[in-house]
Structure 1
Amino acid sequence: MDITLKELGGRSYRDEWYVVVIGAPSVGKTSSVIQYTQNHFLEDKMDAFDHHEDPIRKVTTLYVPPKQTEVIGWISMFDYNSENTLHNFRSAQQEYLARSSGIMLMYSVTSRRSFDAIESLRQSVLQVRDPGYIPPVFSLVGNKCDDTNARQVSEEEGKELADVLQCPFFECSAKTRTNIEDAFKGLAIQIQKARDEGPHIPP
């Protein structure tokens, strides 16, 4: 849903950038993006395939002092298999990774394997980046925190990994919408701060 830009002291701006949500299959990437952009949960896993190919548009308003910015964000979702490399991705996917402003590294708290793949995933993303740009803004997100009985990764482990990666950390649930807004807006604010501080963040 588009949010109307509110003037704030005459210092309002518009911006546009790309975000990629990437992680192992079935960690809830598409469900999280649909929950954030369309405010509903995909009950049928097959529905996720209808949304998985093309970027999803989301317009939001960020206030990062001293200015307010209306951001047009394009969000893509990619699967990652730690047994392969990102060079096996289609060229269009590599292009999104190469020019994205932000990367959301997502795992499921119910899957130790998806969590263990995160550091390798981050390195693979950096390998396809244009060396002329500074690294993208990363965030680490543990999805499915509502499924307490199936949890395999503790919240503390997620925080510790985020400290190692030096990026924001969120646990969320696409099913209940817990922290979904915070996770996406938190990454968006970090992107906007980085873009304000340096000229080399890609659009």
Structure 2
Amino acid sequence: MPNNILRGACIVVGEPTSGKSAVTQVFHSDGSHFPKSYLMTVGVELCTKTVNVPETNDAVELFIYDSAGKELFYDHVQKHWDHPSMVMVVYDVTSETSFNSCAKWLERVRSHNHDVSIPGVLVANKIDLDQRRVISPKSGKEFAESNGLEYFECSAKEMQNVDQPFHYLAKQYYRLYQEKIEYFKSLA
């Protein structure tokens, strides 16, 4: 049992059919559930999962907000984005449109946190479709680096590397929390 549990809101964004819900559900179920039939997310779906922070006795409870990708739902979705602790931008490696919209999604989330830096990741999903891939790892890494994000590749369908971006975000969130504690201690 962890000594301390921090709670943080993780906003998951990207175009429709990029695999945001599949990535979220596979992570939440510890790889035991891949959604076989696609139901479009309407608004926001929320799930929680606790992630232990390596080399500590602490954990981060992630409140994962899986956001609808359709513009139709944007006004409803953005209400859930107040004060996110971290952001995950997901794109489909077989879709240029999906990749090209990452900047738009990232800007939308960041516009709700004008002066606050939050940990973020760029997730290239559907790497199991390598024969149809149109976005190279190099392009993904360059976009991530130029936008202050960490880059990850995964396949929700194959349940491959899905945990890593969430664990990275939890660890970074925890690190920022510890830095704030040290800062406040230095003021005392």
State the TM-score, normalized to the length of structure 1. Answer: 0.79
Q: Is the 2:41–2:68 contact (alpha carbons within 8 Å) kept by the matching residues of 1?
A: no
**Residues 15-164 of structure 1 aligned to structure 2 (within 5 Å):** 15-38=6-29, 39=31, 40-46=33-39, 49=41, 53-63=44-54, 67-80=56-69, 88-90=74-76, 93-129=77-113, 131=114, 134-164=116-146
Aligned length: 179
- Separation in structure 2 between the aligned mates of residue 198 and residue 124 of structure 1, nearest angstrom: 26
Contact 1:85/1:124 (<8 A) preserved? no
Contact 1:19 1:75 in 2 (8 A): yes
Q: Which runs of 4+ in 1 moved over 3 A?
A: none
3-state SS of 1:140 partner = strand
Q: Which SS does the other structure have where 1:45 is aligned?
A: coil
SS in 2 for 1:99: coil
Q: Distance in 1 between matches of 2:164 and 2:45?
A: 23
2:36 maps to a residue whose letter is: E
Normalising by structure 2, we get a TM-score of 0.85
Kindly indicate whether residue 173 of structure 2 is the aligned counterpart of residue 191 of structure 1: yes
Q: Secondary structure at the match of 1:19?
A: strand
Instruction: Give the alignment's Cα RMSD to 1 decimal.
Output: 2.2
Cα distance, 1:28 vs. partner?
Answer: 0.4
Q: Retained in 1: the 8 A contact 2:10–2:85?
A: yes
Residue equivalent to 1:8 = none
Deviation at 1:77, TM superposition (A): 1.1
* Offset from partner CA, 1:128-187 (integer Å, 9 cap, x none): 23x4x5132111111001111111101111111111012210010001111101121112
Match of residue 185 from structure 2: none
Whole-angstrom CA distance in 2 between matches of 1:79 and 1:127: 18
